Amino acid sequence: MADPFFLNTPLILPFDGANNSTTIENAGAKGISISVNGGAKLSTEQSKFGGSSLKVNGSPDYLTFPDVILGSGDWTIECWVYLRSAPVSYAALMVSNGEAGLYLYDTTLIFYPNNTGNTGTLSLNTWHHVAAVRSADKLYLYINGVAGANAPTVSGAFKMNTIGSARGVQGSQSYIDDVRFTAGVARYTGNFTPPGAADTTRSDIYSRTANLARRVYAATTQSAALKPLPVGTTRNRESDLLFGGRGRISGVTKVKGTPDAAVSTRVRLIREKDGLLVRETWSDPVTGAFTFANIAHGIKYTVLTYDHNHNERAVVADNLTPELMP
């Protein structure tokens, strides 16, 4: 089943691949590249899903990547951990330059700098689902879907850029599988059942895209058999095979002022029921006008416009119903 928060998920690391491989692919919604350091590598010795996982043996085995900005609102970081031995002191799990993040102290889950503990512990040689969730400025730690006793207040913006050992802090001797970072969403607000399968939203989208491409190719190869239309008539309006219909959403992008000034921005059309990106376009540089035509008209959409130069804040218009085209 597709993840409704996929567009909020910049990092998904399934750690699928050949034994001893150091190629780590990000299946999240952002094009974030992963760098492998020390002896970190994929291993088929243990896995929660997919037949392989990340194997780390403490310092200096770790992964780094450009800062994933979780922000100052709700967020969720989670993964599966198979602890092979108990750390003798603090051991980094998912952190930001060896500072704020998830740590293990012996077999207890800790979030630094708050030192928030989870009363549960991680048994050795067993897979555990662990999650840190920020919800309404409260921080919750979960082991196998069960929240710890403490939920302290947190403030400020958070980011993550390291998995495994970090600056000045050893890493754990463990296997790690299915890491997922979600910005802007507290996925868990009470005890829950941990995910029973890997997050395959991106591969599902690729599969649907490939199927669509095959359908387009099949239609193209059969076009020679179509009879030409009589002069003076036209074919039905072209429409997207996956999202097409008779709907239309139009608008104008402007910078507020006296008077308002038209501006060209990137405009995205998002299906509200699942957050799926349906279309993308640029508004006209002279008039600021944009149009999404031939879209399904029986559902709600959100339009997101943002300045690619980041000089202006993004603007969101939601709960939009397309007008019917003639």
pLDDT tens track for 53-67: 999 998 789 999 999
Is 274:2 a contact under the CB 8 Å cutoff?
yes
Helix (H, G, I), strand (E, B) or coil at 219: helix
pLDDT tens track for 162-196: 998 766 667 788 999 999 999 999 999 999 999 99
Residue range 239-324 forms a domain whose CATH class is mainly beta
The Cβ of residue 123 has, within 10 Å, a number of other Cβ atoms equal to: 12
| pLDDT for res 230 | 44
CATH topology for the 6-198 domain? Jelly Rolls (2.60.120)
pLDDT tens track for 205-258: 544 444 444 444 444 344 334 344 444 333 333 345 456 788 899 999 888 776
Residue 160 predicted with pLDDT over 50: yes
pTM for the model: 0.64
How does DSSP assign 3-41, residue by residue? -TTGGG--EEE---SSTT-------SSS----EEETT-E
CATH 2.60.40.10 in the chain is located at 239-324
CATH 2.60.120.200 in the chain is located at 6-198
Question: Residue 118's pLDDT band (boundaries 50, 70, 90)?
Answer: low
Which residue is associated with the tokens 């994933």? Answer: 68
pLDDT tens track for 65-83: 999 989 899 999 999 999 9
The Cβ of residue 229 has, within 10 Å, a number of other Cβ atoms equal to: 9
Residue 50 predicted with pLDDT over 70: yes
Helix (H, G, I), strand (E, B) or coil at 166: strand
Residue 187, CA atoms < 13 Å, CB-side half-sphere:
23
